[in-house]
Structure 1
């Protein structure tokens, strides 16, 4: 069968060595909307994302994308025991935890393992975990992610579980919005994700969408940035982790609304579409920011 859990679970996907520079950090931050608001070119807090030099900081979500930042081909799906293609796949969830503030330049090696395969009946969920270490062997960050593979379930395997994050029944501590630009996905794809789903209208239609959609990890970065700016004083160094489930799609030109609550020493949040025919449609759910 296309997915063989006996081969996939526990398989070593391999190790990738990579480097990054301040220019990569700047491009990533621009790709997730930093510096896009009126006055951001003069704002000290906004310039911490967009101006190279001693004041530059790195949003932890950068660690998710930097291992493939300089890739120019669509992402490969040569996972052990998994015969799948890009048109079947959507990103399910993503988390990152960092050992400390990420450096603005450096080199590292990430080692990735397939940890679980869940059978959801009409789809499969494949989980991966990656650990990034510096050249000296120090752990820099750890990621965990899932992909949702349409049409590949039904073998009678473990369905897995979930623990939804419940938002408080009170007014949020933050309500913010970000207007996704028409070219947002075309800019963000320069951060190493050339999946044609986000740029090619014909490919998007074959995948069941009326038009290219924004990268889930772009929404992920946008939401983390809005929460960091709104509830953590724009200090990316205070973020020690971020987890989110991809609950819906965003089309370039739409507006993302972010609601966040301070709760038990962390921030819980949700993101939806604001305005238009899809007002209230989910974008990210089960969002948790761990902060120092």
Structure 2
């Protein structure tokens, strides 16, 4: 297959309307590992519908999800080999715990890295209130199309990530994942079989199904919320990161954080870097371990 760049850049991704319920909010938080410490009431605020429930800001990444539309054979993408490369999220308003939202996704760029080197696909999704049109969040992502370079498309511009800080981190937070976590997380709407089917994972070059990149982001963002936001989700403003290696469900994610909001993360058991070039911003000063 060969990419049809004109079709890909102008692909008509439909708007997705979605009803958000308190159950959805609680399930998402549980699916990214929140409240594994049931004695911490700050974490219970994101999962217990009998408390004053709060939505995690990065739930915006799964709301109004347009589905795995890159499998459309007209586009020509090798959908088995694609991976999530980068993700950014900006929160404009706190997400509702209950209400109707619309997810509006569009392709914003395509970069041909050359034959054998793959391609970069840039996308943006806005999450809006269905009634008023108010903008809750803007998500920007880079998908690495590993099997699709050399189609004669544009060679730039390529987004530059934030710099990696020097010196040791100011805080280190370790959070576990669960062996079945990808199976829970995919119920949020991302049903790519790479995260569930061992045969598909093997065909993509992995020893077994891997954790969704956005689930990894959820675990890392939890560490940031604990350290930089004191579990106050209203203080979150934005984050960006680059995925560098996959997590196997059941591994421990160690997030290294600097006071200026820079961060990176690695799998503790294998000492493999999984997230790099991270930068987060929370309103207010100070951080806590």
TM-score, with structure 2 as normaliser: 0.90
Counterpart pick for 1:43 among 37, 40, 43: 40
Counterpart pick for 1:58 among 52, 55, 62: 55
Contact conserved, 1:21 with 1:105, CA < 8 A, in 2?
yes
**2:287 matched residue in structure 1:** none
- Secondary structure of the structure 1 residue equivalent to 2:53: coil
1:240 aligns with 2:237: yes
Instruction: Write the mapping of 1:140-159 to structure 2, written as runs, cut at 5 A.
Output: 140-159=136-155
Q: Within 1, Cα distance between the matches of 2:268 and 2:78? A: 32
Contact conserved, 2:90 with 2:138, CA < 8 A, in 1?
yes
**1:99 matched residue in structure 2:** 92
Q: Within 1, Cα distance between the matches of 2:7 and 2:79? A: 20
Question: Which 4+ residue blocks in structure 1 deviate beyond 6 angstroms?
Answer: none
Q: Within 1, Cα distance between the matches of 2:235 and 2:256? A: 19
Counterpart pick for 2:262 among 240, 243, 268: 268
Post-superposition offset of 1:167: 3.1
**1:129 matched residue in structure 2:** 124
Post-superposition offset of 1:104: 1.0
Cα 1:176/1:168, change in 2 over 3 Å: same
5+ unaligned residues in a row in structure 1: which ranges?
A: none
Post-superposition offset of 1:2: 2.6
Contact conserved, 1:109 with 1:132, CA < 8 A, in 2?
yes
After superposition, what is the alpha-carbon deviation per residue over 1:219-241, rounded to whole angstroms, capped at 9, x for unaligned? Answer: 01110111101221011111111
Q: Within 1, Cα distance between the matches of 2:177 and 2:61? A: 21
Q: Within 2, Cα distance between the matches of 1:219 and 1:95? A: 13
Post-superposition offset of 1:187: 1.6
What is the root-mean-square deviation of aligned Cα atoms in Å? Answer: 2.0
Counterpart pick for 2:166 among 165, 169, 186: 169
After superposition, what is the alpha-carbon deviation per residue over 1:173-220, rounded to whole angstroms, capped at 9, x for unaligned? Answer: 210111211111122122112211111111111111111101111001
Q: Within 1, Cα distance between the matches of 2:147 and 2:78? A: 11
After superposition, what is the alpha-carbon deviation per residue over 1:68-116, rounded to whole angstroms, capped at 9, x for unaligned? Answer: 3xx9xx7232569722243121111111111121111111112221110
Contact conserved, 1:95 with 1:143, CA < 8 A, in 2?
yes
Contact conserved, 1:10 with 1:116, CA < 8 A, in 2?
no
After superposition, what is the alpha-carbon deviation per residue over 1:15-59, rounded to whole angstroms, capped at 9, x for unaligned? Answer: 1111111111111111111111xxx22322111121114522111
Post-superposition offset of 1:3: 1.7
Q: Within 2, Cα distance between the matches of 1:168 and 1:64? A: 26
Corresponding residue pairs, total: 279
Cα 1:81/1:146, change in 2 over 3 Å: farther
**1:16 matched residue in structure 2:** 16
**2:105 matched residue in structure 1:** 112
Counterpart pick for 2:193 among 192, 196, 200: 196
- Secondary structure of the structure 1 residue equivalent to 2:64: helix
TM-score, with structure 1 as normaliser: 0.89
- Secondary structure of the structure 2 residue equivalent to 1:109: strand
Cα 1:195/1:11, change in 2 over 3 Å: closer
